[in-house]
Amino acid sequence: MKILRVLVVYSFYSIYSADAVKNGAKNGTDPNGYIVFCPCMGRFGNQIDQFLGVLSFAKSLDRTLVLPNFIEFNHPETKMIPFEVLFQIGTVAKYTRVVTMHEFTKKIMPKVWPPEKRRAFCWNPRKAIYDTDAEPGCHAKEGNPFGPYWDHIGVTFVGDEYFGEIPGGFEISQMGSRKKWLEKFGPEEFPVLAFSSAPAAFPSKGKVWSIQKYLRWSSRITEQAKKYIANNLQKPFVAVHLRNDADWVRVCDHIDLEKNRPLFASEQCLGEGHHQGQLTKEMCIPNKQQIVDMIVEKVGSIGAKSVFVASDKDHMIDEINEALKPYEIEAHRQEVDDMYTSLAIMGRSDLFIGNCVSTFSHIVKRERDHTGQSPRPSAFFGVRSVRRHIDL
């Protein structure tokens, strides 16, 4: 298995090198330059949400994107997870030119980005949080996970560059934006654009959601999901994502304060700018009775024979199973939670019930909408009073 994995990775780099040479590259590098960034805002759902925008940004600038290490926060440890551990490289490469972080740091970075030219990019200079005497700047390595992220790949910055004056910033679709990027930060002087945070909008905009189809789970995660389904779930099955830990409760408290402004992934239910309805607490954190009632309703609507539940805290297995007794089916959860496998399982369900505000739920919804010939059924807690037609 290890030999096969090495061959697959080598095959990808060979294809990438041939394509680069065809486009005028020297020494296996991209003459149009590279983009590298820290996905340093939030947990995995937020990181993927912004990653879609970064893919679009890299393609618009015609630069090779260095696939990031994703960040896991396991207090007090911060772990860096290589992109290729979670996703297939070959499929994302169908969208735009990419290279793994390992390949970039070991083989490309020493050739095109010497230590004395490593400058950090950010919108505008800001004051340091921890060093009150420091001059305003990007402070790209200040705090966790910023410092550990760049240290992990062996990068120290010698200066800063600011792109806030460019029309639209990283929204290349705005008139004149791409031209300004090329004029101000051309690849000859700036072979690597290193962003202190993701050069992409958050929350993500609908125009990039379809890019999710290029993110395919790695063979390891896919096989784990298939094995779990085969061993524990009877088809058809309903998958449910619950958010109910203390941090999430605090997120939902902002709904009354935000005056219906988009909150995390809420636009997946209400449209951009919430033009299709108003965000409610019920959508963000439904109570247990609302959760149970909707699960029972959806189980009945498709004749489900099992239920899978993923959660950041309380899976409500006992309560759900009590409600499902008349149907003689059971709800299941992973004994040892693995969020990546949970996402893959939910993506394969016959019907998915998610949380409107959660970017984690949005990963599943985008996959179900854009992978395959037609969208697969999805529903959300609390949305029927706003958009009845999306309920099944």
Q: What does the block give as tokens for 350? A: 């016959």
Q: What is the pLDDT of residue 22?
A: 46
CATH 3.40.50.11340 residue ranges for the chain: 2-206
| Distance of alpha carbon 355 from alpha carbon 290, whole angstroms | 13
pLDDT at 384 over 80: no
What's the CATH code, domain 217-390? 3.40.50.11350
* Coil, strand or helix at 129: coil
| Distance of alpha carbon 387 from alpha carbon 101, whole angstroms | 42
The conformation of residue 375, written as its DSSP 8-state character, comes to P
Q: What would be the CATH architecture of the domain defined by 2-206? A: 3-Layer(aba) Sandwich (3.40)
| Distance of alpha carbon 278 from alpha carbon 280, whole angstroms | 6
Give the residue-averaged pLDDT of 242-268. Answer: 89
Q: What is the mean pLDDT of the chain?
A: 90
CATH 3.40.50.11350 residue ranges for the chain: 217-390
| Distance of alpha carbon 236 from alpha carbon 341, whole angstroms | 19
Q: What is the pLDDT of residue 258?
A: 64
For residue 140, report the phi and psi dihedrals to the nearest 5 degrees.
-65, -20
Half-sphere exposure of 334 (CA within 13 A, CB side): 23
- Written as one letter, the residue type at 328 is E
Residues 172-203 pLDDT 10s: 877 789 999 999 999 999 999 999 999 999 99
Query: With bands split at pLDDT 50, 70 and 90, how would you rate the model's confidence at 15?
Result: very low
**Percent share of the chain, pLDDT over 70:** 90
> Going by C-beta distance under 8 Å and a sequence separation of 6 or more, which residues neighbour residue 329?
234, 299, 304, 305, 306, 307
| Distance of alpha carbon 85 from alpha carbon 67, whole angstroms | 11
